[in-house]
Amino acid sequence: METIQVEEKRRVRLPVIGKPEQSGVDVDAILREFEAEQRAKLGLDKQHVQWRDEVHQRWTASQRPHTTMLCGGLTMAQDFLISGALEGIGYRVVPLDVPDQDALQYGKEFGNRGQCNPTYFTVGNLIKHLLFLRDVKKIPTQEIVERYLFVTAGACGPCRFGTYVTEYRKALRDAGFDGFRVLLFQQQGGLKQATGEDAGLDLNPKFFVRLVLGIMIGDAINAIGYRIRPYEKVAGETDKTLEAVKQMIFETLRTNGSVVAALIKTRTMLRQIEVDRTIVKPKVSVIGEFWAMTTEGDGNYGLQRFLEQEGAEVDIQIVTNWLLYNVWEHVYDTKQRMNLRSEDHGRRGLAGVDPIKKLAILWVADQAVRVIFQVIANTIGLHGYVLPNMDEVADAAKDLYNNHLRGGEGHMEVGKLVLNVSHKKSTMTLSVKPFGCMPSSGVSDGVQSFVTEKHPGAIFLPIETSGDGKVNVYSRVQMMLFKARTFARTEFDQACQKNGVTAEEVRAFIAKHPLLSSPFFQPAHYVTHTAADVVHHVAPLMKEGLVKGTLRSLVKRFRSHDAHASHAAAPAALGAN
């Protein structure tokens, strides 16, 4: 017979409110005793040590000559040029390949479950490279751990980006590379991150100048490539020329040669490409989550090249825009804090800081980024490229998306779509983000539906990437591109009809004038795509002559109050050589 033990029941007399002394019972003591008993039953009375991630990041200046930095995460051009720029100041740098499906599989094998696409692709890409070093090049694991390290960006925020570095370390341990160093380059860190005079990664002004130089030159090369390639007469000529350009600029940065001379030579090389900008192609603006819209491989199904293959011109978001957004954040927050009734002693507060001086420094930083980029862009032939006015983007989005929300692209996704539609900056807007991206899919896309309802003529397509939905994504893009192509063709026909010219007449006139047939020529902005802009720009020149028509266009430009409705018509035309 089974014996059942019944705990002794205790009768107590509860105290009367206001007269605890009459009960003779210490209720607090009974509760403490009961808590101790329950903790013992649950095993909670034992000593526990909190888990901590072991961080391996010791890298000294003496180790620099024989330590190789692995880097990646931006476009192919930028990763390549940044490696050359940093080699020029004494670092050994190797850019990782563009993440592919193999990288995704390694990321899923060694990473945690429930991560977003960028995590799997970037973590897996590093693991893939280290396995190549170990299994193919036969470098011992310990030597890889001691002589290689990875530098990546990091930031705090409401998405998984804040945990990337932990994911790297976890995957490295599971893949057999425990102790491999992952250095986190914080988005907001700046010069204060230097850990001492003996630091291997010396974050001094020279380092940042070289880094920004690699980013901006890469941006300019990418932008002019996407501008020229859709209209090239000889297929593949643009890519071939750009590969030679990137290699030449890489060697210039690596050997500390003349960057200006390299940029001028770039212009000479690109000038040889023949183009026909009267071909009707819808312009597709690619926006969305930073990594998903920046990567150029399987991480976004190679969307940029797919769009070009389907007959579109792609308008990319360059990394320089992100630098301007970071400056804008500080300006906006400083102006908000200036209005507080007392000094703000928060981590980024203004206590002890002169806000006027800070705003002046930020203004100089903003102007410096713009001037440096424009010098680079115009030197290589990227004329009429307008960097976004971040205040205008914020104003366009503020009624739809709170400017204080900074996750992902913040308000920029919403602001870009609004401006694309209201200023006719593109025929179609494609928003790409990883599956489950909280700031982008969970917030921005919910707002975009209201924007498209307010602007029913907008051609907008949001897509999510998961690594295995390529066919579905391509199908959706093709269906929306059909609408964009139809709209672009109608726009082109209307431009010809309005100006009383035909496409053949425009082509014939352009062929007679080298300035207009140059790959560097960029027409003034009138409508959503390039071919129709060319008609609106060239037709007056056909009737009034090149000089008179250009001057008239220039006067019209300066009288216009819409800064986004005019893209440097005369400077672009006169600077086409």
Q: Which of 546, 519, 561 lies closest to 231, judged by CA?
A: 519
The answer on pLDDT for 95 being more than 50 is: yes
Higher-scoring residue by pLDDT: 353, 508: 508
Provide, rounded to the nearest whole percent, the portion of the chain with pLDDT above 90. Answer: 53
The number of helix segments (H) and strand segments (E) in the chain equals: 22, 8
pLDDT band at 193 (very low <50, low <70, confident <90, very high): very low
pLDDT-based confidence at 452, cuts 50/70/90?
A: confident
**How many Å apart are CA 429 and CA 436, to the nearest integer?**
20
Confidence grade of residue 567 (pLDDT, cut at 50, 70, 90): very low
pLDDT higher than 80, residue 422: yes
pLDDT band for position 443 (50/70/90)? low
* pLDDT(87) > 50: yes
The answer on pLDDT for 565 being more than 50 is no
Burial of residue 52 (CB within 10 Å: 0-12, 13-18, 19+) is: exposed
Residue 564: predicted pLDDT: 44
**pTM of the entire structure?**
0.83
Question: Is the confidence at residue 187, as pLDDT, over 50?
Answer: no
Q: What is the DSSP string of 486-538?
A: HHHHHHHHHHHHHHT--HHHHHHHHHH-HHHHSTT--PPP-SSSHHHHHHHHH
Q: What is the mean pLDDT of residues 204-229?
A: 94
What mean pLDDT do residues 150-176 have? 73
pLDDT at 429: 95
- Look at 211 and 30; give whichever has higher pLDDT: 211
The pLDDT-based confidence of 192 (bands split at 50, 70, 90) is very low
Of 422, 419, 402, 421, nearest in space to 411 by CA: 402
Buried b (16+ CB within 10 A) or exposed e, 452-479: beeeeebbbbbbbbbbeebeebbeebee
- Which pLDDT does position 142 carry in this prediction? 93
What does each C-alpha distance from 216 to 119, 375, 376 come to in angstroms? 25, 10, 8
Residue-level pLDDT at 234? 94
